[in-house]
Amino acid sequence: MLDAVQDATPLDLLASSLTPQLRSLLMEGQSERIMRNIAFSLFQRMRHSVELLSCVSGVISHNAALSALPDVMLVGITELTPLRGRMIVAIEGDLIGAVVDGMCGATSGSTFVRNQLSAMEKRIGKQMIDLTLAALSEVLGNLTPLKLKVEQYETAASLIGIADGQDWMISTSGIFASDLGIGSIKLIVPYTSFEPLESKLNLQAGLIGPHASDPRWISVLDNLADMTPVELRIEVVRKWVSIGLFQTMSPGQVLPCRLLAEAIGIAGGVDLFHADFGQIDGYVCCRPTSISVKEENTSVATPKGQTPKLLENGRTELDQIFGTPQTAQAISGKGIVERVPVLLTVELGRTNISVKELCQLRQGQVIVLNQLVDEPLAIFANGQRIAYGEVVAITPDQFSIRVTALARAGEQGEDIAA
């Protein structure tokens, strides 16, 4: 909570969607390889271990790219022949200092705060820029031959500029560490410079070709599919009944519905399959018998020998089927509320499986549920847990559910996820 009103910058939620991203995939896909080549070149130069800690690539404005440059650095502004525009190669002063210390035989890094580069550090820094350009040319050379030439060197951010302030730039940063220090190398390229490469990549189906597959993207999706859970529910009863039934529900009451011939598997409110069921090691299990489920007939159960009266709009007069509960307070003479239909469902059990497992589900595969064999079945009204019950035989070949207990107050909030 702020104590006083402060000025705030408006947040543009559409900014990311308006930012150009396609060509940045070129540098994003190759940036780590470029930076690892640089690390190997630095190792050869320093004769000390050099490790690439992280590598980040993205699209930002020209002003934002310059504001992210280190305070002490050496920058080489380079022509991108035959591509259009110029590129910034910025070597952080601390990294240059670590390379110089390594070349001079130092065994520990300097602890002083560096405010500027010495003459030797500038000379070594220029060689590090050359190593960076060589690594960039080697990696991108299979796409187009690059002739990278440094036009000028600068050490102050105020003297650097290769585009207008709001022009989009592709910024790639690598953080390097050695025993003698840590520092960064940044590559900043105008977004428009990669337009010729974009067309070439599309034709060759390279990194961003229309028919190319990105292994990293596929790997991320596979991991998400493995980790993302989906709740799978198995229903054995599904019937529209009068709301008056629930107002008079009590233990021992047999519900006016029959068990389905086959259970139905549901995920996210979608019927996925029919299944038969059994038990394994004391737990209820089911086995899909058909993967597609046709819409079930969920009309109101009618007692044998009675024909319900149809209203003018085709609805069933539910009073004739279940009767009006004596304890219900009628809003009108016919008890309108008691005739409101509610979806009654009974669950055999539930389980959580991953999205990948759900997609690979096949007929005959056994699914173990979280329901113990001797536990009562949960009864729901419009997805709200209201009671528990057990299976009873109505006739030798027909079964229904008898209510054994009502759900407690805390359990009544456990809605079925839509």
pLDDT 10s digits, 145-191: 888 989 999 998 888 989 888 888 889 999 999 888 899 999 999 88
Q: What are phi and psi of 411, to 5 degrees?
A: -80, -20
Q: Cis omega (within 30 of 0) on the bond before 376? A: no
Hey, is 395 helix, strand or coil? strand
Q: Of 27 and 220, which is predicted with more confidence?
A: 220
| Residues 222-243 pLDDT 10s | 888 888 899 999 999 999 988 8
* Mean pLDDT of the region 267-287: 91
* Candidate CATH numbers 3.10.180.10, 3.40.50.720, 2.60.120.200, 3.40.1550.10; the one for domain 18-210: 3.40.1550.10
- 236 burial type by CB count under 10 A (0-12 exposed, 13-18 middle, 19+ buried): buried
State residue 165 phi and psi, 5-degree precision.
-55, -35
For the structural domain made of 228-413, what CATH number should be given? 2.30.330.10
User: 312: which 2 tokens?
Assistant: 């003018």
Domain ranges of the chain: 18-210, 228-413
Burial of 334 (C-beta count, 10 Å sphere; 0-12/13-18/19+): exposed
